[in-house]
Structure 1
Amino acid sequence: MEETKTFFLNGEEYFSDKIINLLDIVSYFNYNSSLLVLEYNNFICPKKEWDNIFIDNKDNIEIVTIVGGG
């Protein structure tokens, strides 16, 4: 049985008892991955690493979406 982990996404607290990675989070919340920047524990995380970084207890994730305009 997996331990429940607490993590923070854009300042909101979430809980998971599954093993999840950053790509899982982006997909679950239906973000358009081509239009965002992901910060993981205060470091900008390249897209090619998202499926290799697994969420641990007390991790902090910030997702910033890019919006065009004029």
Structure 2
Amino acid sequence: MINKNISIQINGEPFNCSEPLSLQFLLNYLDFNSERVAIELNDILLPSPLFHSTYLNDKDKLEIITIVGGG
């Protein structure tokens, strides 16, 4: 199996990995609580049930928005 480097953008910053990652794995790796974020992948808002089954591809653009409660 040939490893292909994957380069994505997360909130405008480059992020590289050596294999396809699920969105949920990436959120865990970056220490985000998946219940407190909104995710936009290539300008499409993703529902949280899709985080486990969505894999990131080369040149994807990911926006992670943290939801903060307050009053």
What is the TM-score with the length of structure 1 in the denominator?
0.91
**Contact 2:38-2:66 within 8 A present in 1 as well:** yes
Report what 1:23 is aligned to: 24
- Cα displacement string for residues 9-64 of structure 1 (whole angstroms, at most 9, x for unaligned residues): 01110111122010011100111111110111100101111111111110000000
Query: Helix, strand or coil: the match of 2:51?
Result: helix
| 5+ residue gaps, structure 1 | none
Alignment of 1:28-67 (within 5 A): 28-67=29-68
C-alpha distance in structure 1 between counterparts of 2:35 and 2:55, whole Å: 20
Q: Which residue of 2 aligns with 1:11?
A: 12
RMSD: 0.9
Aligned length: 70
Q: Is the 8 A contact 2:6 2:20 kept in 1?
A: no
Q: Which has the higher helix share?
A: 1
Using the aligned pairs only, state the percent identity: 29
Matched, 1:68 2:49: no
Check whether the contact 2:38–2:65 (CA below 8 A) recurs between aligned residues.
Answer: yes
Give the TM-score normalised by the residue count of structure 2. Answer: 0.90
